[in-house]
Amino acid sequence: MPRWGLVLDLQRCIGCYSCTVACRVENQTPAGVWFTPVYEKEIGTYPQVRRMFLPTLCNHCQDALCIKACPTGAISKRPDGIVLVSQDVCCGSRACIAACPYGAMHFYSDWQGDFEGHLTPFEELARDRYQPGTALKCTLCVHRIDQGILRPACVETCPTECRIFGDLDDPESAPNKLITGRKGLALRPEAGTDPSVRYVL
């Protein structure tokens, strides 16, 4: 059984947000819910200043704190390492949102469009996809992966190929080679979550 994961090459990310938008289109998330935000930060001191981008998503942790926090058992990890929220079981306690060290959990209270007063045809279609009052998160586009041929939408769309998707348990996979060759790092390692998303600088 593979362990699906991603390596994000920060040297390649140009902060174009195409992953953010592609994810939103693919997963039809409600207004204000972004599964793959790209964070930005200015680093250095003048005149040696540059803008750094940090593309993120749910880290699909092997020791996921959201699973521990959820009182209903709505969050589970599949054998291939993908962590999913069951919309039919979640009671909306929001404990997972407080527990996640990566800010990857979202609470969906009610459908709101991006534009005041009306819904776009896209939003009309998307409105019934999620249950109000439940938690939402990135699924690593499990519906695409399960077809066996497609990668997550954020990976497919990235113009700089900063997101490298593959089996972290396979020593010959592209992400694994990057992790070993360029010392892949985890975000917030002190949380002890063993995430399936790593970063190379």
Residues near other proteins (CB under 8 A): 17, 20, 34, 37-41, 54, 56, 65, 67-74, 89-95, 97-103, 107-109, 131-135, 187-188, 190-191
Nearest-approach distance from CB 187 to other proteins, in angstroms: 5
Residues 6+ apart with CB under 8 A from 55: 8, 13, 19, 36, 38, 39, 154, 162, 163
Residue with tokens 């599949």: 78
Return the DSSP state at 160.
Answer: T
Nearest-approach distance from CB 167 to other proteins, in angstroms: 25
39 in Cβ contact with 103 (< 8 Å): no
Nearest-approach distance from CB 36 to other proteins, in angstroms: 10
Nearer residue to other proteins within complex by CB, 20 or 173: 20
Nearer residue to other proteins within complex by CB, 4 or 102: 102
- What count of residues does the chain have? 201
* Alpha-carbon torsion (82, 176, 159, 59), positive or negative: positive
Nearer residue to other proteins within complex by CB, 13 or 145: 13
Nearer residue to other proteins within complex by CB, 172 or 190: 190
55 in Cβ contact with 36 (< 8 Å): yes
Nearest-approach distance from CB 168 to other proteins, in angstroms: 20
